[in-house]
Structure 1
Amino acid sequence: MTRHAVVVGGGIAGLAAALRLSAAGVRVTVVEQADRLGGKIHTRADGVDTGAEQFLMRDPVGGPSAAMRLVEELALTGRLVHPVAGGAGLWVGGTLRPMPTGHVMGVPGPQTVLDGVAKVADHDTDRGTPVLAPGEDRSVGAVVRERAGDEVVDHLVDPLLGGVYAGSADGLSLAATMPALHRMLGEEHTLRGAVARTTAASRAHGSGAPVFGTLAGGLSGLIDAVAAELRSRGVEIRTGLPVRRLERDGTGWAVYVGAAAPDAPASVRGPRLSCDHVVLACPARPASRLLAQVAPDAAALVGALDYASIGLVTLELTGVELPALSGFLVPADQGLTIKAATFFSTKWAHHARPGGVLLRASVGRHGDPAALQRPDAELVRAALADLGTVLGHPLPAPAAATVTRWGGGLPQYAPGHVDRVAGARELLGGLPLALAGAAFDGVGIPACVNSAEQAADRILEG
């Protein structure tokens, strides 16, 4: 008898899990609460991404990343494009400076030069033991402040981590955000030594080949291709349908969907899907809610994850010249509302605008919601003013402006996150259920696809 799996969540993780399961002959139903697939991947009608806009091409050992493997599997390599601009900048002390090199997400190594960016404290001495004790997980900020000083964290580590997670280095786990460096810190006696070994071991950035890629026409093309492949295999995809409750049904599951409240009587709970397995590929809070009745201890661990909200201001400007950079980052102590900007028309050849430029500014940091409480028009004005400050002259009114808000869009991996997720999975070990996605195993398309494939494999092996 063919097994049936319900995948809760139609973002890239849920779709990748469905691909893996359906390839193994499992009947799959994907259920997505929103009226579209893709989650944080979304492309406007004109081909401009309003969420994720690129992916890493290679994994840490130098092979194709999970995202690139997916592109190849779906025969999308003909649409693959790479950045054409140089590196990023860093706005510090009223100057747009080149991003320093030789670091791991801002954590400096022996060759990192931080002139004009930060003063480095000379506290990174060999104390006779590894920087981290066995099994220890601390925040990135705590370790780097102790070894290299506050300015290194505030002016380099924080903006880089903030660009990925919209969070603070002082609240983000080393084990979850920089696993390779975390492992080296358990062996090396100095921070710089651990960074040197980490960069030497990584094959993701060192081959001279492009580091990042995207698809001409936007990353929604990846979502569309996955969905088309799934439908060709007979996978049922249902959007606009929230999952309200999970219940054990013999050796399988009863999955209640629709508009009824989660605690409504069984007679009014809405349609029910019966299945053998469930993959929760949704954010932590809905995953925790669904687990509450069937695995309350695991639900508590999953529900401990916090999120940050961000806003993206996409602008089209005429009569403006941009530096030959892909964009820039802004430390939180530099007095600007925006925390980063990406020069789309400079970074990507397919976004070039004759006579104009296309760029996107990012606002919103974890624990500081004030910027996101502004109306759209005010956010546009603030972004224009800040961009004018960085570029050295006032900017004209935009030919077009769009504000996209991602409420609760980015998970905040506090110290201990990896252990909490492992604990939740151990508690779920006796159930035909798997967890997948950014809530558990890392942000970015490759991390989400890897997480999904591993979740599917756990089900197939169960």
Structure 2
Amino acid sequence: MRKRVAIIGGGVAGLAAAVRLRDLTPPSTELIVYEQSGALGGKLRTGRLGGVTAERGAESFLMSAPDGSESAALALVRRLDLEDELRHPAAIPAALAIGGDLARIPGGTLIGVPGNLAQVSSVAEPATDRDRDEGRPLLAAGEDVAVGELVRGRYGDQVVDRLVDPLLGGVYAGRADQLSLAVTIPQLARTARVEHTLQAAVQTAQAEAAARRAPGRPVFGALDGGMSRLVAAAAAASGARISLGLPVREVGRTRDGWRLVLGAAPAPQIDEVDAVVLAVPSRAAAKLLTGVAPEAAEAVGVLDYASVALVGMAFPAGTELPELSGFLVPPSEDTLVKAATFVTRKWSHLAGPGDRVLVRASLGRAGEAGRLQFDDAVLLERAHRELSELTGRPLPAPEETFLQRWGGGLPQYTPGHLDRVARVRGALPAGLAMAGASLDGVGIPACVASGERAAEDVHKVLEEAA
């Protein structure tokens, strides 16, 4: 009998689930992607700025997994025949904005956590007498702590405040003192359960990743034409029916499967399917799970999010910028701008018409939503002023701009998150799987892998019921 599977959520996790289901299930299987907004892609959104493509969400993805193997995003790019469209950033250093200066980010760290303290002396004064071997591993089996707790205790405050915080913040918009080590730096969490010092744990994690990484594989990849090409290619390859602008308001059980209530309450539409992949943010997921998996709903609903905004500016040709690919700003600097990318220097394929100079800046951190509650003109002016101050030169008025708000865009994974995820998945009934950043991490590779796992979970149930 022909099977029907609903994928609720049309971001990259949901689309990755749809592609994986297409590969696993018979050709007759009907896949339906329900996306309540008017467009697929979630946080992947490509626009235009200064005559070229400009990302309003994620600009690139990691080519390798934390263990050094090929990332799920790279594997999906290959699956979608987009490998020839891969582009990689120029080998130009980035910097940290500290005390009015731009200091190059030291190499040889693991998201800011050094394996050799001498390597970070240009930006921080690490404690040199705390990382002692106390005759046992840093962490017990299964233990999770905040990144900041571990690193402050071993290396001191400056390493966290000037290195780890801005590097983690560039990805999660959060603070090291609140973010889970097991989620944000999993390779370090693993080796910290074996090694007796932080230095040894970092060095072991780095060596393991290097041993598995393919020689010559770049660190980051992007697609010529923008990340929206990945979205379109995944949707096409899945062969799914795409339903836009029609929210799923309720998920319920039937005798043999699942009943979806769609659309406005006065005139609901009903759809019945054999399995469901739920790939939406945590609060939306908790609402949909309340009637069918209350324990899972409670566990997933506690996740908090950070709101951020992205600003793009196209400056006139000849605008001078520091000889960098961009910079990160530690929270201690108290700026709204937390990171900036000098787009046309970092990505050579994005050189714009008339040699315009493109800059993208990220605004806002966890707990700072109030600082973004101004109209676009105010935020653009503030970003322009801070960019001038941080680069140490007065920037001309931009010829073109955009401002993209991502309210509640980035999950904040506190210690113990993986245990909560295990509780969520353990409480889900057969035939209903969850995917996405609310469970398995931000970044395109993590979301792709999460979607593929959910697809495999529901496929197994469908096979058993056949």
TM-score, normalized by the shorter chain, greater than 0.5: yes
| 1:230 pairs with 2:274 | no
Residue 41 of structure 2 is aligned to residue 38 of structure 1: yes
SS at 1:229's partner residue? helix
Give 5+ residue unaligned stretches, structure 1: 261-267
**Matches of 2:113 and 2:125 in 1, distance apart?**
13
Q: Are residues 63 and 181 of structure 1, via their aligned partners in 2, closer, same or farther at CA, if it must alter by over 3 Å? A: closer
Rounded to whole Å, the distance in 2 between the matches of 1:144 and 1:64 is 28
Offset, 1:205: 6.4
Gaps of 5+ in 2: 462-466
The equivalent position to 1:175 in structure 2, one of 167, 179, 182, is 182
In 1: Cα distance, 2:325 partner to 2:370 partner: 27
Give the secondary-structure state (helix, strand or coil) at the position aligned to 2:6.
strand
Q: Which moved more, 1:60-69 or 1:217-226?
A: 60-69
Which stretch shifts more, 108-117 or 202-211?
202-211
| 2:133 is the alignment partner of 1:126 | yes
Name 1:367's counterpart in structure 2.
367
Match of 1:100 in 2: 106
Structure 1 residue 212 corresponds to structure 2 residue 220: yes
Is 1:457 paired with 2:456?
A: yes
What is the distance in 2 between the residues matched to 1:161 and 1:63?
A: 21
Q: 1:111 Cα deviation (Å)? A: 5.4
CA-to-aligned-CA distance 1:272-321 (integer Å, 9 cap, x gap): 11011110011111001000111111100010111001011100111312
Q: Secondary structure at the match of 1:169?
A: coil
In structure 1, C-alpha distance between the alignment counterparts of 2:322 and 2:206, rounded to whole Å: 28
Distance 2:93 2:449 in 1: 27
- Residues 228 and 439 of structure 1: CA distance in aligned 2, closer, same or farther (over 3 Å): same
Residue aligning to 1:394? 394
- In the alignment, the residues of structure 2 paired with residue 207 and residue 413 of structure 1 have an alpha-carbon distance, to the nearest angstrom, of 32
Shift of 1:405: 0.4
Residue aligned with 1:254, SS: strand
Letter in 2 for 1:360: R
**Distance in structure 2 (CA, Å) of the matches to 1:13 and 1:292:** 22
- Cα deviation 1:3-42 (Å, max 9, x = unaligned): 2110000001101101111222232111001100000000
CA distance in 2, matches of 1:61, 1:159: 23
Is 1:157 aligned to residue 157 of structure 2?
A: no
State whether residues 329 and 339 of structure 1, in contact with CA within 8 Å, keep that contact through their aligned partners in structure 2. yes
Q: Secondary structure at the match of 1:67?
A: helix
**CA-atom RMSD, angstroms?**
1.5
Q: How does 1:298-377 map onto structure 2 within 5 Å?
A: 298-318=296-316, 319-353=318-352, 354-377=354-377
Change in Cα spacing, 1:90 to 1:317, as seen in structure 2 (3 Å) is: same
Percent identity over paired residues: 51
SS of match in other structure, 1:159: helix
**Shift of residue 62, structure 1, vs aligned partner:** 4.0
Instruction: Select 2:249's aligned residue among 244, 249, 252.
Output: 244
Quote the residue 1:113 is aligned against: 119
TM-score, scaled to structure 2: 0.94
CA distance in 2 between counterparts of 1:115 and 1:65 reads 32
Farther off after superposition, 405-414 or 327-336: 327-336
Contact kept in structure 1, 2:275 and 2:458, CA below 8 Å: yes
CA offsets per residue over residues 242-284 of structure 1, 9 Å max, x none?
1100111113110111021xxxxxxx56111101111001111
Match of 2:464? none
Tell me the distance in 2 between the aligned counterparts of 1:168 and 1:64.
28
Distance 2:243 2:54 in 1: 26
Matched, 1:292 2:290: yes
Mean Cα deviation higher: 72-81 or 235-244: 72-81
Is the contact between residue 205 and residue 211 of structure 1 (CA under 8 Å) also seen in structure 2? Answer: no
Partner of 2:280: 282
Verify the 8 A CA contact 1:102 1:111 in the aligned structure 2.
no
Instruction: Provide the rounded CA distance (Å) in 2 between the counterparts of 1:146 and 1:205.
Output: 31
Deviation at 1:180, TM superposition (A): 1.0
Letter in 1 for 2:143: E
How many Å separate the matches in 2 of 1:176 and 1:88? 25
CA separation in 2, counterparts of 1:296 and 1:6?
20
Aligned equivalents of 2:351 and 2:186: distance in 1? 36
CA-CA distance at 1:63 after TM superposition: 3.7
Tell me the distance in 1 between the aligned counterparts of 2:298 and 2:245.
Answer: 27
Runs of 4+ residues over 4 Å off in structure 1: none
Which deviates further from its counterpart, 60-69 or 448-457?
60-69
Bigger mean CA deviation after superposition, 291-300 or 329-338: 329-338
> Is the counterpart of residue 72 in structure 1 residue 70 in structure 2?
no
Aligned to 1:440: 439
- Separation (CA, whole Å) in 1 of partners of 2:74 and 2:243: 26
Corresponding residue of 1:263: none
**How far did residue 206 of structure 1 move?**
7.6
Q: Higher mean Cα deviation, 29-38 or 103-112?
A: 103-112
Contact 1:43/1:51 (8 A) holds in 2 = yes
For normalisation by structure 1, the TM-score amounts to 0.94
Paired residue type of 1:171: Q
Secondary structure of 2:246 counterpart: coil
